[in-house]
């Protein structure tokens, strides 16, 4: 994408809250405008596995595929299987687009702001965010979706076979890993949106186990605590960084979003909040916002050099 910029369309209220808080809102993918969200990707996955079972000539591989679709027996796998949730924020590559104004910019009375992905990536340490945060273009083509699943599935199978860990437990873990592709797949009916999605993966774990207090207690209980110090220290850094980003399970919030009660995470970007991260804001074609007032608001909230432009879409007020 040009200059690594993507765009988010929103209401005046949403823009106000985002800029004032210096946070991006990642809402539950269980309540998007696509009623097949997440379930669509699971359907593609299951249908492909069934197709591969019917085509398989290697009995060991066929048994592995059959195990993938069997419900897990152990409690840990069951928790993974059912309780991982996803939260996201939608962006697009088109600035000042009539369709997006109509669908997400309050019929043109709202705003569109840009996000610098390069600046975001430089701050979000993926070692410490621990695969919880990601952003990608969504995939709408079913053939491509199946190709990605198949490649990932074969890698998982070959790794399990090489490491001699192929059993029902490993198949359950593999299926969970494949389910993680769901937030990136969407029905082709939405292909015109060309969505780029910021995704948060919520796991059913108590990350407070890795707090500094817990770490000190753990070290003191060990005779050879120094042997564990480096490893546990990484978990402390993991916990503290995620806590700073406000992406820990206990930091999930609820609010009224588009007239619905929805759960969300407010990704804290205060440390990098500047005009390099948010370089431009477009005032909607039917928005009556005073530019001078908007500039004052942006300046007082760390966006002094953010460019303000009015939409070029020629609609009647």
Backbone angles phi, psi at 101, to 5 degrees: -60, -45
For the chain, what are the domain ranges? 2-310
- Can you give the C-alpha Rg of the chain in angstroms? 22
Mutual angle of helices 59-68 and 39-55, in 10-degree steps: 160
Mean pLDDT by 10 residues, the chain (317 residues): 81 95 93 76 94 94 89 55 81 94 94 96 75 91 96 91 65 85 92 93 63 53 59 78 91 86 94 96 96 97 97 81
CA separation for the pair 77, 88 (Å, rounded): 24
Instruction: Spell out the residues 6+ positions from residue 242 whose beta carbon is closer than 8 angstroms to its own.
Output: 128, 129, 130, 132, 207, 248
CA separation for the pair 124, 147 (Å, rounded): 29
Beta strands in the chain (DSSP E): 5-10, 23-28, 85-92, 111-116, 133-137, 195-202, 253-257, 260-268, 280-283, 307-310
- Tokens 């290697």 label which residue? 58
What pLDDT does 128 receive? 66
What pLDDT does 2 receive? 43
What pLDDT does 88 receive? 95
CA separation for the pair 35, 26 (Å, rounded): 18
Say if residues 200 and 87 touch (Cβ distance below 8 Å).
yes
CA separation for the pair 194, 32 (Å, rounded): 16
Question: pTM for the whole thing?
Answer: 0.85
In Å, what is the CA distance from 98 to each residue of 110, 128, 242, 258? 12, 39, 37, 20
């Amino acid at each position: 994408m040009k200059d690594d910029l993507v765009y988010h369309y929103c209401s005046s209220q949403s823009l106000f809250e985002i800029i004032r808080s210096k946070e991006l809102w990642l809402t539950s993918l269980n309540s998007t405008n696509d009623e097949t969200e997440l379930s669509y990707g699971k359907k593609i996955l299951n249908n492909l596995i069934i197709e591969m079972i019917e085509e398989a000539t290697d009995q060991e591989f066929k048994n592995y595929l059959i195990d993938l679709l069997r419900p897990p027996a152990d409690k840990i796998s069951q928790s993974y299987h059912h309780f991982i949730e996803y939260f996201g924020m939608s962006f697009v590559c088109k600035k000042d687009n009539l369709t997006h104004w109509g669908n997400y910019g309050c019929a043109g009375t709202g705003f569109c702001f840009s996000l610098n992905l390069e600046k975001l990536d430089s701050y979000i340490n993926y070692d410490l965010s621990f695969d919880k945060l990601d952003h990608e273009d969504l995939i709408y083509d079913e053939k491509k979706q199946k190709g990605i699943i198949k490649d990932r599935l074969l890698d998982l199978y070959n790794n399990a076979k090489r490491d001699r860990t192929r059993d029902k437990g490993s198949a359950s873990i593999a299926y969970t890993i494949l389910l993680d592709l769901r937030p990136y797949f969407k029905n082709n009916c939405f292909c015109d949106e060309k969505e780029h999605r910021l995704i948060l993966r919520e796991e059913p774990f108590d990350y407070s186990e890795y707090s500094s207090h817990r770490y000190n207690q753990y070290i003191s209980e060990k005779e050879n605590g120094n042997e564990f110090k480096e490893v546990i220290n990484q978990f402390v850094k993991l916990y503290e960084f995620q806590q700073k980003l406000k992406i820990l399970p206990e930091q999930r919030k609820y609010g009224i979003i588009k007239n619905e009660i929805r759960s969300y995470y407010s990704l804290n970007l205060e440390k990098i909040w500047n005009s390099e991260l948010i370089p431009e804001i477009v005032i909607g074609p039917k928005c009556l916002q005073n530019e001078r007032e908007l500039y004052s608001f942006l300046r007082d909230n760390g966006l002094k050099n953010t460019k303000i432009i009015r939409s070029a879409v020629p609609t009647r007020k």
